[in-house]
Amino acid sequence: MELVIDRWLHVLAGITWIGLLYYFNLVQAVALPKAKADNTAAGITKHIAPLALLWFRWAALATWLSGAYYLERSGIGLGNAFLLKGAAAPIGIGAWLGTIMLFNVWVLIWPNQKKVLGIVPADDATKAKGARVAFLASRTNTMLSIPMLFFMVAGPHGGHLF
């Protein structure tokens, strides 16, 4: 029962994280330049983006922690997964991709978005550079989410593809 609840939390947190990631990439990044052009961007940058980033970064951490707990307690083994050993290799690839994505969220996206959104002070050049770094890290995560989700569902606990 403990593992079912953990898997359940992992999927709930994962949907929150990746759902917001897709919102940022498919909706906000496309709409923001248009909103800036007609001076309606403040609603997004002041009210929506900070709240979306709050849920986004904590859901990312919750997803990783619940996933790591599952790997360790389910008998797969956290070490076996990250060392890509035998049957643990497919989920291990997913775990590695998820770990890189978590790094991108906390080290590249969030610190730079704080500058872009004015949560911490920054000059215009720093904001522009930060916006580019955060954008590319977010797009990288969107790209990585595609194989990450494939390997999450393709392991022995899923579709028996391997």
Partner 1 sequence: MKNPLDSIWGTIISGLVLTAILFVFVANFLVK
Binding site for partner 1 (CB under 8 A): 25-26, 30, 84, 86-87, 89-90, 93, 136, 139-140, 142-147, 150-151, 162
C-beta closer to partner 1: residue 86 or 121: 86
**Cα separation, 86 vs 111, whole angstroms:** 37
User: Could you tell me the two tokens for 79?
Assistant: 């070490």
Q: Among all chains, which residue has been given the structure tokens 């919750």?
A: 62
The nearest distance, CB 84 to partner 1, in angstroms, is: 5
The nearest distance, CB 13 to partner 1, in angstroms, is: 21
The nearest distance, CB 135 to partner 1, in angstroms, is: 8
Residue/partner pairs of 100-105 with CB below 8 Å, 24 or more apart: 100/144, 101/60, 101/141, 101/144, 101/145, 101/148, 102/60, 102/61, 102/63, 102/64, 104/137, 104/138, 104/140, 104/141, 105/56, 105/57, 105/60, 105/137, 105/141
Distance of CA 51 to the CA centre of its chain: 15
C-beta closer to partner 1: residue 7 or 139: 139
The nearest distance, CB 154 to partner 1, in angstroms, is: 8
C-beta closer to partner 1: residue 69 or 96: 96
C-beta closer to partner 1: residue 8 or 22: 22
